[in-house]
Amino acid sequence: MQIGGFRVELQFVADNPNLTFIFFIALTLLTVLGARFSFYAYRNRQASDLATDARLWDYLVAVGVFAVGFALLGIVEIVTTLQLPIKGSLVLAHVLVLATAMRVLYRSIVPAGEEDLGTYERVLTRAAVVAVAVVGIGSALVGRHPFVVAVMGISAGTFAAAGVSFGHRGAAETRVQGTVIDTLLRHLLPVLLFGALVPIVDLATLAGLDRAVVLHVQVVFVIMTATTLMTATIKLRQNLATL
């Protein structure tokens, strides 16, 4: 395909031009909305006076950055001959950081209280970081190996389950209902769920499902992740206006 003075060789996703076009649009949308989400999270960090809030906003900035990284590598795969399976580790990191942000929000309402509980959560967080590293290194070395796909999908499901647990428990607290924390929890939950479903659905390929079918489902979850990021960004803008 000729664009201006440059020739671009498109790599069709699953040898399907229509699916490739949809993926290109979805990834472009995720790039724009992920960057916008990070921008407003950063603006909230600058406007906040509380040092305890900085960690939360840093996590949310990272959420958008990882989403953008995943999307950009996907676009590069489409418009070049490069294969970049390492992008899977970026979407997994996106899910992990989101789940961590949910924990930070919950702990701002219900402190750990006991040192053992805080230690337990730190150990789990380190194990989760190791899982992301395993996926990143493994995909860089062996590509879409079944072991890498399995670790990525199972880890995403585990991160999402933990994040949803913190989110639901936090939103159920009477004292936060109608507050900024309640709003953030409720708007970040869909982002977490749809983001996690992108790698989770890939587990179906291990059961023998045609990868082309899996990709058709994945692109829907990519679009939904971008859409929920857009909704969450609106809440970040509204929160910024009150600071």
Give how far Cα 129 sits from Cα of 15, 93, 209, Å: 34, 8, 29
Give how far Cα 180 sits from Cα of 3, 160, 188, Å: 46, 22, 12
First vs last C-alpha separation in the chain: 48
Domain containing 190: what range? 2-111+119-242
| CA nearest to 92, candidates 39, 56, 133 | 133
Q: 174: which residues sit within 8 A by CB, 6+ positions away?
A: none
Domain count, the chain: 1
72-112: pLDDT as tens digits = 999 999 988 888 989 999 999 999 999 999 998 888 887 76
Whether residue 233 has pLDDT greater than 90: yes
190-200: pLDDT as tens digits = 999 999 999 99
* Percent of the chain clearing pLDDT 70 (strictly above): 87
Give how far Cα 184 sits from Cα of 57, 115, 209, 238, 239, Å: 11, 27, 36, 11, 10
Residue 58: CATH number of its domain: 1.20.1070
This model's pTM is above 0.85: yes
Predicted local distance difference test score (pLDDT) of residue 114:
47
159-185: pLDDT as tens digits = 999 999 998 888 777 666 767 788 888
Residue 14 region by backbone torsions, left for phi larger than 0, else alpha for psi between -120 and 50, else beta: left
Average pLDDT, the chain: 87
Higher pLDDT, 56 or 15: 56
Predicted local distance difference test score (pLDDT) of residue 203:
96
